[in-house]
């Protein structure tokens, strides 16, 4: 929600991948998201190794870091509306953390290049935790780390299964959909 990188179900990085890099986006997506990324997401595989494997199979040797950098930068579209909501909550003393299913490389980029650590107290990332949403252990880990009562935590997420899992742990949850900024602000008691 802090990053506006999906429009009509399409990730920003994939829109001009072929034009900008001269590489087949379908082949890359099939290789990456056909189960390999899910392993990287929970720290069981390295994203760099997965992308390198694809480059070697597709005549793009030596372009691993270029591809990953393109992907991360093209998808780096911080959402000013949700960042404003987070800022308003922070000014009221509300703790803000990020709970993401990103793997370690992208999480590092989010922290260092996108600067999200200025907006949130902490980033809980699947790749570091070795757990991913909607696994209930993911939510339990956050509760333990924050030493927070589940009922005092609100998850804002765009995936219905994550909302259900969080509610199953006793969390409050807001199902964020494209353009629901005003509804979120209202639910949080913020003025539009």
Q: Which pLDDT does position 9 carry in this prediction?
A: 84
Per-residue pLDDT tens over the stretch 69-104: 999 999 999 999 999 999 999 999 999 999 999 999
Distances (CA, A) of 70 to 3, 18, 24, 62, 66: 16, 11, 14, 14, 6
Distance between CA atoms of residues 38 and 32, nearest Å:
9
Per-residue pLDDT tens over the stretch 9-68: 899 999 999 999 999 999 999 999 988 999 999 999 999 999 999 999 999 999 999 999
> What global pTM score does this model have?
0.91
Distance between CA atoms of residues 178 and 170, nearest Å:
25
135 sits in the region (left: phi over 0; alpha: psi -120 to 50; else beta) called: beta
Work out the angle at residue 95's Cα, subtended by the Cα atoms of residues 90 and 101, and round it to the nearest 5 degrees. Answer: 110
Which is the CATH superfamily of the domain at 80-187?
HAD superfamily/HAD-like (3.40.50.1000)
Q: Is the CB of residue 47 less than 8 Å from the CB of residue 68?
A: yes
Per-residue pLDDT tens over the stretch 166-185: 999 999 999 999 889 999 99
- Ordered by start, the domain boundaries in the chain are 6-74, 80-187
Q: Is the CB of residue 51 less than 8 Å from the CB of residue 32?
A: yes
């Amino acid at each position: 929600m802090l990053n506006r990188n999906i429009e009509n179900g399409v990730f920003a990085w994939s829109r001009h991948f072929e034009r900008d890099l001269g590489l087949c986006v379908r082949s890359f997506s099939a290789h990456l998201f056909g189960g390999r990324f899910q392993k990287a997401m929970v720290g069981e595989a390295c994203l760099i190794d997965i992308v390198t494997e694809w480059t070697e199979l597709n005549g793009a040797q030596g372009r691993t870091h270029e591809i990953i950098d393109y992907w991360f930068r093209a998808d780096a579209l911080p959402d000013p509306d949700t960042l404003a909501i987070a800022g308003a909550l922070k000014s009221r003393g509300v703790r803000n953390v990020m709970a993401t299913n990103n793997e370690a490389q992208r999480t590092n980029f989010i922290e260092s290049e996108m600067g999200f650590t200025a907006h949130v107290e902490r980033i809980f990332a699947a790749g570091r935790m070795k757990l991913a949403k909607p696994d209930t252990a993911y939510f339990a880990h956050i509760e333990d780390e924050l030493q927070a009562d589940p009922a005092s935590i609100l998850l804002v997420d765009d995936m219905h299964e994550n909302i259900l899992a969080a509610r199953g742990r006793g969390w409050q949850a807001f199902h964020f959909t494209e353009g629901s900024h005003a509804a979120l602000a209202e639910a949080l008691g913020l003025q539009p």
